[in-house]
Structure 1
Amino acid sequence: MSLFKIVSDSLFKLEKVIVIILLPILLFSLFADVLFRYALNSPLLWAQEISLFTFIFASFIGASMSVKVKEAVAVTILVDRIPVSLRNILIITGLLTSLLFTLLLVYLSIKWISNPTILYQKSVTTQIPMIIPYLSIPIGMFFMVIHFVHLFMDSLRQAKEKKVIE
């Protein structure tokens, strides 16, 4: 078992825990917001921000999880109709391109949130430092990089063994 697989599998377990924590917070804050806004006619100012921030984090973590389980959105009409050897090359090239693009996003997001104007921003109602929700981008993308590295290395191994990459 490769080190990349161990790290990717462990990270996937952590991602599950994070999402299991975030989704009930999201649902509770949305339910409370709707209840107070429409039933009690007294909107909660904090509920929209909390639900938005948890939704953003859960989305980026969920995107990373979809890469791990190979359920990310893909158009495979061309790949499904070509010979196995060319198919493997296309899949490996696609994984490498996705890995490099995700690495670029990690770099750019870290550069962006390192900006002093971002570091000192606070949310309007809850006064949460905006760095917290903004961290969802580099964290989610970094997790995705780890999963892409694992998939890329596994695909190279499968291609070397003349297996069909899925």
Structure 2
Amino acid sequence: MINNLKKITVKIDIILNFFIVIFFSILIFSCVLQVFTRYVLNSAFTWTEELARYSFIWTNLLGAVLCVKKKSHATVTAITDKLSNKKYIKVQFFVQVVILIVSLILFIYGFEVTLKTVSQTSAAMKISMSLINASVPVSSFFMILYTISNILILKEDKVVQ
């Protein structure tokens, strides 16, 4: 089961990395375009700042998904470095359960907000705000998937030892 889950997460990683690159490229392009039009042409587009902001949101939330998978979010290891391997696994299990709970809450409420903002449009680009707000349930869904994967891997490590 773990091997199948790993194969699935590898494919999801490829897709997530692709979208992170796309959103980050849009972010860079819109910022460069904004600076060029504002300072060189003395007439800035009104939508570039908004596009940059929304691309930034998607980039960060999708990047957070990969941080959850790789367990590379910010941590203070002063205490956990001194724990035995068995206690360390227990702490990591607790951390993963907390991440799972928070991700579930984000998914539920993010989904509700996304549905409520379908008819609301952004100021400059006139796109549905649900496209922006969807970043929360989409990213939290993948965080849930990766956290479950991390928990199963921790359980497997615990059985091996």
Q: In structure 1, how many angstroms separate the alpha carbons of the residues matched to 2:99 and 2:77?
A: 15
Pair 1:18-2:19 in alignment? yes
Gaps of 5+ in 2: none
Corresponding residue number in structure 2 for 1:7: 8
Post-superposition offset of 1:69: 2.1
Q: In structure 1, how many angstroms separate the alpha carbons of the residues matched to 2:67 and 2:88?
A: 21
Corresponding residue number in structure 1 for 2:37: 36
Corresponding residue number in structure 1 for 2:143: 144
- TM normalised by structure 1 equals 0.91
Post-superposition offset of 1:4: 2.2
Post-superposition offset of 1:16: 0.7
Identity over aligned residues, as a percent?
22
Post-superposition offset of 1:38: 1.4
Q: State the superposition RMSD in angstroms.
A: 1.2
Q: In structure 1, how many angstroms separate the alpha carbons of the residues matched to 2:128 and 2:82?
A: 50
Contact 1:12 / 1:68 at 8 angstroms: preserved in 2? no
AA aligned to 1:33 is: Q
Q: Which deviates the most, 122-131 or 16-25?
A: 16-25
Post-superposition offset of 1:24: 1.4
Residues 82-161 of structure 1 mapped to structure 2, 5 A cutoff: 82-115=83-116, 118-161=117-160
User: Which portions of structure 1, spanning 4 or more consecutive aligned residues, are displaced by more than 4 angstroms?
Assistant: none
- TM normalised by structure 2 equals 0.94
AA aligned to 2:134 is: L
Corresponding residue number in structure 2 for 1:49: 50
Equivalenced residues, count: 160
**Which has the higher relative contact order, 1 or 2, with Cα contacts under 8 A spaced 6 or more apart?**
1
| Per-residue Cα deviation, 1:23-42 (whole angstroms, up to 9, x for no partner) | 11111110000111112110
Q: In structure 2, how many angstroms separate the alpha carbons of the residues matched to 1:6 and 1:105?
A: 26
Corresponding residue number in structure 2 for 1:64: 65
Q: In structure 2, how many angstroms separate the alpha carbons of the residues matched to 1:25 and 1:60?
A: 15
